Amino acid sequence: MYDLNEVKTFVSVMETGSLKDSAHKLGVSKSTLSRRISNLENALNQPLLRRQANRLIANEAGLKFLPFARKMLNVADEGHKAVEELKEEVSGSLVVYVHTTLVRGWFSALMFDFLEEFPQVNIDVRTGNQLSQEIKSNDVCVWVGEPANDQLRSERIGQLSQGLYASADYLERTGRLSHPSELSQYAWIDTLKSEQNSIVLEHETQGDVSFDLPKSRLTVDQYILHAEAVIRGKGVGLLPHYFAEKHLARHPEVFVSCLPEWKGKSQPVYLQYPFGHLPRKMHALIQYLRDEAKAFY
């Protein structure tokens, strides 16, 4: 079995080509480094380095051993991190950015459950639909739509299918829809400030239909305001099925599905978090979000 300090010394000398530079880098004496190299060579029963023009370079055995030495150090480092993580408490503060579409009906309940399970964690929740400029590289973000922040790792954890909804009273006044081509005759509530001029509706057997959006008198950037506009009979709107069903479970018949066999384009849900080694509190939250997002599929 090789001593990890000896392996580390060998890799360092391979990188610097100098006992002096490696001794300074590792914070030990040149004699200590020379002894470690000798011990490693004795363990392997052959020399690894040779001196050339005042520099140490690897011989054939050294070149073959180098990738294995680096792999040993990487494995040892991962093992150390894993053991350290077991000692680390799930505690401290977290900043979480949540898209407005996900706040009510999903994240609000999840947040209280998480805090109850991990009483030593504090969460600073920030909501919006244009937060990408504010998100920092050490934060967690749950986003609807393609993520704009490339400083964070992006992991797709779900998708939101969408359908058309309107209040029963509104449809009684205007007549019920029978095909997407009729939407131009109805008032339209812009979908969470989508700023699109057209949308595509999908049907399992009839394929896709694209149509220009009617000019909307009401444009909102909050899901709850969008749903409220539909409930108040201001027109037809495109809502995520998941949240429409949650809303109807609490308040039955406040609105109804129009053209239920037609669906809008699904919106991806992304989880974003920092690259590299993460503290245990962040691991716990990320796994919690992954598990709860299964409801979106």
Say if residue 8 is in the same domain as residue 83. yes
Q: Is 262 exposed, middle or buried (0-12, 13-18, 19+ CB in 10 A)?
A: buried
**290 and 249, same structural domain?**
no
Our count of domains for the chain comes to 3
- Same domain assignment for residues 215 and 258: yes
φ, ψ at 125 (rounded to 5°): -95, 130
- The arithmetic mean of pLDDT across residues 249-263, rounded, is 89
Instruction: Give the end of a domain, one of 59, 87, 115.
Output: 87
CATH number reported for the structural domain that contains residue 227 in this entry: 3.40.190.290
Range of the domain at 99: 92-159+269-296
The CATH number of whichever domain residue 138 belongs to comes to: 3.40.190.10
H helical segments located in 105-261: 108-117, 168-174, 223-231, 241-250
Over residues 34-74, the pLDDT tens digits come to 898 899 889 889 888 888 777 888 888 888 998 988 998 88
Encode burial over 92-114: b for 16+ CB neighbours within 10 A, e otherwise. eebbbbbbbbbbbbbbeebbeeb
Phi, then psi, of 175 in degrees rounded to 5: 95, 150
190 and 53 both lie in a single domain: no
What confidence score (pLDDT) does residue 276 get?
82
pTM over 0.85: no
> Are 174 and 253 part of one and the same domain?
yes
Which of 34, 53, 87 is where one domain is finished?
87
Q: State which amino acid sits at residue 23.
A: A
12 close to 40: Cβ distance less than 8 angstroms: no
Residue 33's domain is classified under what CATH number? 1.10.10.10
CB atoms within 10 A of CB 243: 20
199 and 153 in one domain?
no
Task: Judge if 182 and 245 occupy the same domain.
Answer: yes
For 206-241, the pLDDT digits (tens) are 888 887 776 666 666 667 788 888 899 988 888 888
